[in-house]
Amino acid sequence: MKRTAQNRFKALTSACVLSTMATVAWSQSLTWLGTLPGGRYSEARGVSANGTVVVGFAVNAAGRERAFRWTASGGMQDLGTLPGYDRSFANAVSADGSVVVGEAVYVVYDEYYYFYFSSAFRWTAAGGMQRLGTLPGGGRSAASGVSADGTVVVGTAENAEEQWRAFRWTASGGMQDLGTLGGNESGALGVSADGAVVVGWAENAAGQERAFRWTASGGMQDLGTLGGNESRALGVSANGAVVVGWADNAAGRGRAFRWTASGGMQDLGTLGGNWSYASDVSADGSVVVGGSGRRAFRWTASGGMEDLNTTYASLLTNGSVLIEARAISPDGRYIVGWGDNAATRGYEAFLLDTGPRCTAHNGDVDANGCVDDADLLAVLFNFGSSGSNLGREDTNCDGTVDDADLLQVLFNFGSGC
């Protein structure tokens, strides 16, 4: 009788282990987004909050870059370009995936030089691609970021003196020049969820480019460097408190940074090379993504800088490589960028689903409506794990699978069964 009970427990344990492994494998996935018909290159630059919409650009059969909007059901949609322009790039997307911003471009060549002209755009399914114009007297513009609800757009535009300036656009207020840090030029590259905080680069009085953080009340703030001369801010958290980008260190090497008002600019290191850059950050500021030495990375305070090619090696086949992580969803689950897809022998946009992030619950780890042995074993098998990317085993979302999570399961054992 005792041996039979032990055998049943072993069988239950094995089944639960396999179930847990299957769930993990199912919840993590890598999708190569392909290219436009006849093209051989694509790059993802933005992702919606739930990971169902990805935007970027892809080269078409004529060799022209075109903004795209990708969905799992519809594939890659060519968003076209503005009248008189032959290229376009989508740089960001609203939280629900309905608003896309970027730039339309045309290039003029002569015998020795080429000149490009660009116009910032805002796209919706109902209105198509709408030109946002430029600053008074200027000619060119480009949109780089958009608020969560799609109503605030930021980017770079020329003024009457043909100087690039960071701008903030709304339908009611038009395009606002955000100024500089004492120099001539600036550019906006990111915006907070509510559109109140803008980040980017601006020249100081010495003509050096510096990362900035702008608010209506405080104006443009110089975020400094890591001991070198220049820096750029590329992304900002939902509430505007955490800024990421790259900055020169004392040796003149560009390094990924994470900035807060209390901690200043933190060097995030590299993946072993001389340089790195941070492209985007999760809504709460805890997860940073970017590139280092042609390898996409994810950074967290507990785990440091990790090579996504190592962490998700099981999803990469035939020597494929994730080269750059360009954007991350607000919850930190979805990461998009571009890489080398060995299967097609080309560079392609990718969508990486890292799996569900922690959501506080009553101990139902596998979310099947019943708190039972499977949930208990899932916590036990992950006991002692820590970090900001834990799954539902961290039942109270405190960053560690420990006694508190075990007790959560035990106190609710049998619920819903």
At residue 156 the predicted structure's pLDDT band, cuts being 50, 70 and 90, is very high
Quick: pLDDT tens for 260-276: 999 999 999 999 989 99
Which has the higher per-residue pLDDT, 179 or 6?
179
Whether pLDDT at 136 is above 50: yes
pLDDT of residue 325: 98
pLDDT at position 20: 35
CA distance 404 to 318: 42
Asked if residue 258 lies in contact with residue 282, where contact means CB atoms within 8 angstroms, the answer is no
368 vs 60, higher pLDDT: 60
Rounded Cα gap, residues 97 and 77, in angstroms:
13
Structure confidence at residue 390 (pLDDT): 66
Render pLDDT for 28-50 as a digit per residue (tens, 0 to 9): 899 999 999 999 999 999 999 99
So what's the pLDDT on residue 357? 65
| Domains located in the chain, CATH noted | 8-24+360-411 (no CATH), 29-353 (2.120.10.30)
Whether 231 and 225 have beta carbons less than 8 Å apart is answered as yes
Cα four-point dihedral sign 394, 397, 401, 407: negative
* Mean pLDDT to the nearest integer, 367-377: 85
Share of the chain above pLDDT 90, in %: 78
Q: Looking at residues 54-78, what average pLDDT do you find?
A: 96
Q: Does the pLDDT value for residue 3 go beyond 70?
A: no
The whole-number average pLDDT for the span 346-354 is 97
Distance, in Å, from the CA atom of 279 to the CA atom of 291, rounded to the nearest integer, reads: 8
Is residue 193 a contact partner of residue 147, using CB atoms and an 8 Å limit?
yes
Percent of the chain with pLDDT over 70: 91
Alpha-carbon dihedral of residues 193, 189, 146, 152, nearest 10 degrees? 90
Between 116 and 341, name the one with better pLDDT: 341
CA angle 356, 336, 195 (to 5 degrees): 90
